[in-house]
Amino acid sequence: MSHKLIINPKYKNFEKDLLNIKDIFNNADNSIHKARNELKIIELNSLKCVIKSFKIPHAINRVAYTFFRDGKAKKSYMNAIKLNELDVNTPEPIGVIEFFNQGLLSESYFISIHEPYDFTIREVFHHKADNYQEILKQFAKFTYATHQKGVWHVDYSLGNILITKKDDLYKFSLVDINRMEFKTISGYEGLKNFNKFWAKDDNDLLIIAKEYANLASLDQEKAIKIVLDEAKSLEAKVNLKRQLKKYT
């Protein structure tokens, strides 16, 4: 089995750990997320790190990720580097290692510094965080600033924005970043990036739409309609999936 390794020059001393990442990951039990992929918090070289293990792709994607486009772990690393260059918060990347079996991509791992946080945007939308209205306003500002830098997070959703409170300000940090686009984002287009947000009530979405509209000099009523329409579309998709599950 061969491998390809990329290390952030700042963390050259992690090379041995990356080469032994499969044993390190399998022997650790501090899993913080396990679904299609798995994340574990593991201390390496006296630093708390997050290791994301990507499942082995199905046959077609194994070919695609080997010969035609970057795999998810590599994309995560490259996107993190790009976000750092653009001064958009994301956990600092350490490296990525991909393993190949019979010439095709097999296991892959993305390693970053563990970033402590107070809560995610999910808790804000569920009204489990104090001062949630102010957080939503600052979140709209963060999103607009991110869009102004040409960053479009394809998986911009409730679990993928970490929040840290410092005095009266909130720091937002992006995770699950293997699917991103870097492009020019026009005014009303940016509002569609909230298409994976399902608020507890519409007032939360109104706060975001109004704040974003003010920053982008957009018509508020049109901005509100776009955000609410996206939320209704998401709700319809979720309800359809629930109905289909009943018959499978």
pLDDT at residue number 233: 85
pLDDT at residue number 139: 98
Q: Which residues pair with 149 in a beta bridge?
A: none
pLDDT at residue number 246: 67
pTM above 0.75, yes or no: yes
2-113 fold: Phosphorylase Kinase; domain 1 (3.30.200)
Strands 38-44 and 47-54: antiparallel
Was domain 119-245 assigned CATH 1.10.510.10? yes
- Say yes or no: do domains 2-113 and 119-245 share a fold: no
Nearest-5° angle of CA 130, CA 215, CA 146?
75
Q: What contacts 24+ positions apart, CB below 8 Å, involve 240-244?
A: none
End-to-end CA distance of the chain: 39
pLDDT at residue number 207: 96
Going by C-alpha positions, the residue among 226, 222, 219 that lies closest to residue 197 is 226
Average pLDDT, 10 consecutive residues per value, the chain (248 residues)? 94 96 93 90 96 92 92 97 98 97 94 96 93 96 98 96 94 97 96 87 91 97 94 77 67
Name the strands in the sheet holding 2-7, side by side, starting at the edge strand that comes first in the sequence.
2-7, 93-101, 104-113, 47-54, 38-44, 31-34
Q: How far apart are CA 121 and CA 165, in angstroms?
A: 12
Given a contact cutoff of 8 angstroms between Cβ atoms, the answer to whether 202 and 184 are in contact is no
Count helices and strands (H / E) in the chain.
9, 11
CA atoms lying within 13 Å on the CB side of residue 28 = 22
What digits encode the pLDDT tens for the residues 158-210?
999 999 998 889 999 999 999 999 999 998 999 999 999 877 778 999 999 99
pLDDT at residue number 247: 66
Helices (H), 68-198: 72-85, 121-125, 132-148, 187-191
3-state SS string for 163-226: EEEECCEEEEEECCCCCEEECCCCHHHHHHHHCCCCCCCHHHHHHHHHHHHHHHCCCHHHHHHH
C-alpha separations of 137 from 6, 129, 213 in Å: 38, 14, 11
Please report, for the chain, the start and end positions of each structural domain, with discontinuous segments joined by +.
2-113, 119-245
Q: How far apart are CA 132 and CA 129, in angstroms?
A: 6
